[in-house]
C-alpha cells in the first residue's frame, strides 16, 4: 500500500446493523477490532472479544513483580518492513508520551539505539565465536538457491532434513537460523523457503542480528497494553474467563454462515444466536495453549491435553474441509514443544557476567545483547538474551531480567544429569552458568541473586509442522459469509508464520474483505525481487568469492537486459 492508497475509507452501508465477535484476545483479534473501527467505521459497542483466560494478549505476554519474579514466555524479533504491524501502531497512542504514537516512540528508540550483536555464539564454556560468515560450502549454497527457486507445491510436506544434506546442519547459518526462528530439522522446508523469500534483505545481518528492531519493554507492556486501552476507550467489550466451545454453521451449497456461538462462562453454558450480518473472527490454533510454569524448586508439567482452542478448531473443521486440518499441527507434541525460562536477578553478579559476554553495558532503555547468544555446544541448544532494561515498568533499577530458551528439552544437560524438562528453575540456571564458565563451587552466589521461572509450551512450534495446501484454512474460506480465520494457522500466500506481522495481516485481510472496503491490504515487502537484496545475499553466502556479485551481473543479468532500455542501469 503506497501513499496514494492510504485513503480514508467511506462508511460501509449498513455497518451500524452489524456485530463482530472475536474468539481469542491475541494480537490478531485486537488488530481486527481496531480495523473494524478505524477503516470499517464500526462503533466499539458493536464489538465483543471472548477470551478463555483473564488477560488479553495471547502469546505476547509479560507479567510479574520483583519479589516473585517476572515471566515472559517468548520474545519478538521484528524488522522495519512489517508493513501491517506498523500501519496498525501508527495510530495507537503512546501511553507514556502525549501526542505520540507507539510507532513514533518505537522508531525513535531503534534509530537512536540500533540493534547489533557483538557476540552471537559461544562454546567451550565461554569462548566467543568471532566469525561472522555463514560457514556455507558450495553444496549448501546450491541447496539454498534451489530452495529459493523451487515452487511450494513441488516441495509438498518435505521436512528440512529431507531437503538438505548433512553438511548443511553443521554450518553456522543453520545454527543462527534455528536459534533465531526455533526451526527443527523435522519442520516444514516450505516454511523455511518462505522465510528466505520474506527476509532475504536481512541475510547479511544473520551473524550480528543487524536490522532487527525491538520494543522498549516486554511486548505486553509495549504493544498489547496500549492497543487494549485504545479499544476499551472506544467501547469494545472484553469478556474474560469465557470459552467458545462450538460454532453452529449453516452449510448450504456455496454458502457457509455462522448461526450461533456456544459459550461457557465460568461453568455456565450459553448459546448466542448470530445472523449473516454478524461477523465472527476465530483465531484458530494456539502456540501457547496449555503452557505451564515451574519455579525455583519445581519443573513445569507438560500438559498433553487437547486444550480449548484446538478442540474448537477440530469441531469447526469437522463441519467442512475448507476449515482446515488442525490435526496436522497439534498431534505430535514431542515435535512442537520447547521450554523457556525467565531470570529475575537482583544485584550485580549476573548482570556483570552477562555484560561481559554481550560486550556492552546494560544502560537504561538501551539494547543489551543485541539479540540472543546461543551456546553452540549445549546439549539443550540453550540461548539467552537480555533485551532493553528495564523490561518491565515495575522493574527496579538494580534488577536485571533475562530470557532463555532451548530447543531440545528431552536431552540431558551437560552439567545437569537430567532432561531439561525435568529441571527446576534452580537447575536450569546452574546449567546456564556452567556454559558461561562458572564452576560448581561458585554458583551459589549467583543463585542467591535470582528467581527463575520456567515455562513449558507444548505447541510453541506447531505452526512449523509439515503441511500442504488446504491444511491451513484461508483467512476467508470459500463460500464463507461471516466467518474468518485469524493468526498463525490460517493461510496467507507469500508471508511467513511465527511473526506478529502475519497475525495483523490476517486481521486486515478479513476486515477489508467482509466490509468490502476500497482500501488495499499493505503489500508484503518484495525484497526477493530487489536485485540489490539478492546480490547482498549472494555475497553473504559466498564472502570469500570477491567477484561473485560481479559475475552474477555480467553473466546473468546483463545478458537478460542486453539491448534494452534498462541496460544502462548496470
> How confident is the model at residue 373, as a pLDDT?
95
| 3-state SS string for 151-175 | CHHHHCCCEHHHHCCHHHHHCHHHH
Q: In this structure, what C-alpha cell is assigned to residue 467?
A: 503441511
Q: In this structure, what C-alpha cell is assigned to residue 420?
A: 531439561
Q: Is residue 378 part of a domain?
A: yes
Please identify which residue in the block is written with the cell numbers 547468544.
Answer: 373
310 and 260 in a common domain: yes
171 and 310 in a common domain: no
Q: Is residue 373 part of a domain?
A: yes
Given a cut of 70, the residues of the chain with pLDDT beneath it are 367-369, 545-570
Q: What percent of the chain has a predicted confidence (pLDDT) above 90?
A: 88
| 3-state SS string for 282-348 | EECCCCCCCCEECCCCCCCCCCCCCCHHHHHHHHHHCCCHHHCCCHHHHCCHHHCCEEEEEEEEECC
489 and 433 in a common domain: no
Whole-number Å distance between alpha carbons of 453 and 499: 24
Per the annotation, the verdict on 77 as an active-site residue is: yes
90 and 226 in a common domain: yes
Tally of structural domains, the chain: 3
Q: Is residue 102 part of a domain?
A: no
- Please name the residues in contact with 444: beta carbons below 8 A apart, sequence gap of 6 or more: none
How many C-beta atoms surround the C-beta of residue 550 within 10 A? 11
**Among candidates 338, 348, 347, 299, which has minimal Cα distance to 453?**
299
234 and 203 in a common domain: no
**Among candidates 381, 453, 437, 455, which has minimal Cα distance to 411?**
381
- Please name the residues in contact with 3: beta carbons below 8 A apart, sequence gap of 6 or more: none
231 and 159 in a common domain: no
Catalytic residue among 77, 105, 427, 449: 77
Q: Can you give the CATH number for the domain in which 271 is found?
A: 3.50.50.60
419 and 348 in a common domain: yes
Catalytic residue among 176, 195, 446, 512: 195
509 and 438 in a common domain: no
Q: Is residue 173 part of a domain?
A: yes
Domain range for 488 is 3-62+79-96+216-286+305-331+474-515
Whole-number Å distance between alpha carbons of 222 and 94: 9
322 and 246 in a common domain: yes
> How confident is the model at residue 132, as a pLDDT?
87
Per the annotation, the verdict on 502 as an active-site residue is: no
Q: Is residue 71 part of a domain?
A: no
Give the predicted TM-score (pTM) of the model. Answer: 0.94
Q: Can you give the CATH number for the domain in which 357 is found?
A: 3.30.9.80
Q: Is residue 292 part of a domain?
A: no
327 and 243 in a common domain: yes
Q: Is the Cβ–Cβ distance between 193 and 466 less than 8 Å? A: no
> How confident is the model at residue 238, as a pLDDT?
98
421 and 343 in a common domain: yes
Taking 3-state DSSP, the helix, strand and coil percentages for the chain, each rounded to the nearest 5, stand at: 35, 20, 45
431 and 386 in a common domain: yes
Q: Is residue 131 part of a domain?
A: no
Amino acid at each position: 500500500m503506497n501513499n496514494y492508497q492510504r485513503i480514508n475509507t467511506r462508511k460501509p452501508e449498513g455497518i451500524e446493523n452489524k456485530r463482530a465477535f472475536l474468539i481469542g484476545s491475541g494480537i490478531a483479534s485486537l488488530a481486527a477490532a481496531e480495523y473494524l473501527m478505524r477503516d470499517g467505521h464500526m462503533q466499539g459497542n458493536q464489538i465483543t472479544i471472548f477470551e478463555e483466560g483473564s488477560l488479553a494478549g495471547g502469546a505476547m505476554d509479560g507479567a510479574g513483580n520483583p519479589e516473585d519474579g517476572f515471566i515472559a514466555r517468548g520474545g519478538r524479533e521484528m524488522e522495519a518492513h512489517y508493513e501491517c504491524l506498523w500501519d496498525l501502531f501508527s495510530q495507537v497512542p503512546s501511553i507514556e508520551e502525549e501526542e505520540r504514537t507507539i510507532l513514533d516512540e518505537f522508531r525513535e528508540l531503534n534509530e537512536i539505539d540500533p540493534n547489533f550483536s557483538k557476540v552471537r555464539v559461544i562454546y567451550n564454556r565461554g569462548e566467543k565465536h568471532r566469525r561472522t560468515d555463514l560457514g556455507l560450502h558450495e553444496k549448501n549454497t546450491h541447496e539454498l538457491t534451489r530452495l529459493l527457486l523451487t515452487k511450494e507445491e513441488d516441495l509438498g510436506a518435505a521436512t528440512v532434513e529431507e531437503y538438505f544434506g548433512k553438511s548443511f546442519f553443521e554450518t553456522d547459518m543453520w545454527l543462527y537460523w534455528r536459534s533465531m526462528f526455533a526451526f527443527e530439522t523435522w519442520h516444514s522446508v516450505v516454511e523455511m523457503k518462505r522465510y528466505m523469500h520474506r527476509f532475504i534483505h536481512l541475510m547479511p545481518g544473520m551473524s550480528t542480528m543487524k536490522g532487527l528492531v525491538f520494543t522498549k519493554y516486554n511486548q505486553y507492556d509495549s504493544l498489547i497494553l496500549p492497543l487494549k486501552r485504545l479499544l476499551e476507550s472506544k467501547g469494545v467489550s472484553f469478556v474474560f474467563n469465557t470459552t467458545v466451545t462450538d460454532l453452529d454453521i449453516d452449510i448450504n451449497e456455496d454458502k457457509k454462515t455462522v448461526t450461533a456461538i456456544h459459550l461457557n462462562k465460568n461453568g455456565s453454558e450459553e448459546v448466542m444466536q448470530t445472523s449473516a450480518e454478524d461477523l465472527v473472527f476465530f483465531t484458530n490454533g494456539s502456540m501457547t495453549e496449555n503452557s505451564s510454569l515451574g519455579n525455583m524448586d519445581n519443573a513445569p508439567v507438560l500438559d498433553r491435553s487437547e486444550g480449548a482452542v484446538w478442540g474448537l478448531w477440530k469441531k469447526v473443521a469437522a463441519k467442512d474441509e475448507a476449515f482446515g486440518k488442525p490435526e496436522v499441527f497439534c498431534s505430535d507434541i514431542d515435535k512442537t514443544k520447547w521450554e523457556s525460562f525467565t531470570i529475575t536477578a537482583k544485584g550485580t553478579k549476573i548482570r556483570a557476567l552477562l555484560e561481559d559476554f554481550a560486550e556492552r553495558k546494560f544502560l537504561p532503555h538501551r539494547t543489551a545483547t543485541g539479540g540472543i547468544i546461543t551456546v553452540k555446544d549445549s546439549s539443550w541448544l540453550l540461548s539467552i538474551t537480555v533485551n532493553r532494561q528495564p523490561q518491565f515498568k515495575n522493574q527496579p533499577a538494580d534488577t536485571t531480567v533475562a530470557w532463555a530458551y532451548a530447543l531440545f528439552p528431552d536431552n540431558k544437560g551437560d552439567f545437569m544429569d537430567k532432561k531439561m524438562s525435568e529441571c527446576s528453575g534452580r537447575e536450569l540456571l546452574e546449567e546456564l552458568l556452567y556454559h558461561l564458565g562458572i564452576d560448581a563451587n561458585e554458583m551459589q552466589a549467583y543463585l542467591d541473586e535470582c528467581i527463575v521461572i520456567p515455562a513449558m509450551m507444548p505447541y510453541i512450534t506447531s505452526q512449523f509442522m509439515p503441511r500442504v495446501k488446504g491444511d491451513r484454512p484461508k483467512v476467508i474460506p470459500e463460500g464463507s459469509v461471516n466467518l474468518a480465520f485469524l493468526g498463525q494457522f490460517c493461510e496467507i500466500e507469500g508471508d511467513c508464520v511465527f511473526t506478529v506481522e502475519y497475525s495483523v495481516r490476517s486481521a486486515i485481510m478479513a476486515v477489508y474483505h467482509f466490509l468490502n472496503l476500497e482500501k488495499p491490504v499493505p503489500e508484503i515487502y518484495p525484497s526477493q525481487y530487489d536485485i540489490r537484496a539478492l546480490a547482498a545475499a549472494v555475497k553473504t553466502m559466498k564472502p570469500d568469492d570477491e567477484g561473485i556479485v560481479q559475475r552474477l551481473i555480467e553473466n546473468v543479468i546483463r545478458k537478460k537486459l542486453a539491448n534494452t532500455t534498462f541496460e544502462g542501469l548496470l
